[in-house]
Amino acid sequence: MSIELQTKYGRIEISNDVIATIAGGAAVDCYGIVGMASKSQIKDGISEILRRENFSKGVIVREENGEVHIDMYIIVSYGTKISEVAHNVQTKVKYTLDQILGLSVQSINIYVQGVRVTNP
């Protein structure tokens, strides 16, 4: 699937994988994020950190009634305030998608899949 934007120059189609990769890259740059997790890791209870090329497995992009909604599955660092980390991710992803793609996102839902102790 893809998101379609109409500009004065014509029509632009952006793949959901592209949006997911950009959103995942913006999220892992935030303080307190260890990495992205797969959305289907529930079966084992073990959250695997995704590499940059697999960010789209941890991000769901959907379009409903002309509005874009994003679900993100993240792993946070131990000792950080989860609500602040989630808010920072929402803000950064929304800003990044607006700046890079000109895409207005209606909602960004954050699902914390795990907490990891990071090595100093």
Q: Chunked in runs of 10, what are the mean pLDDT values of the chain (120 residues)? A: 84 90 90 81 54 72 89 91 94 94 91 78
Residue 54: its pLDDT value, please? 67
Residue 42: its pLDDT value, please? 53
What pTM did the predictor assign? 0.82
Q: Say which residues have a Cβ less than 8 Å from residue 53's Cβ, sequence separation at least 6.
A: none
Class of domain 2-116: alpha beta
Residue 47: its pLDDT value, please? 53
Show the CA angle centred on residue 58, arms to residues 52 and 63, nearest 5°. Answer: 115
Residue 44: its pLDDT value, please? 44
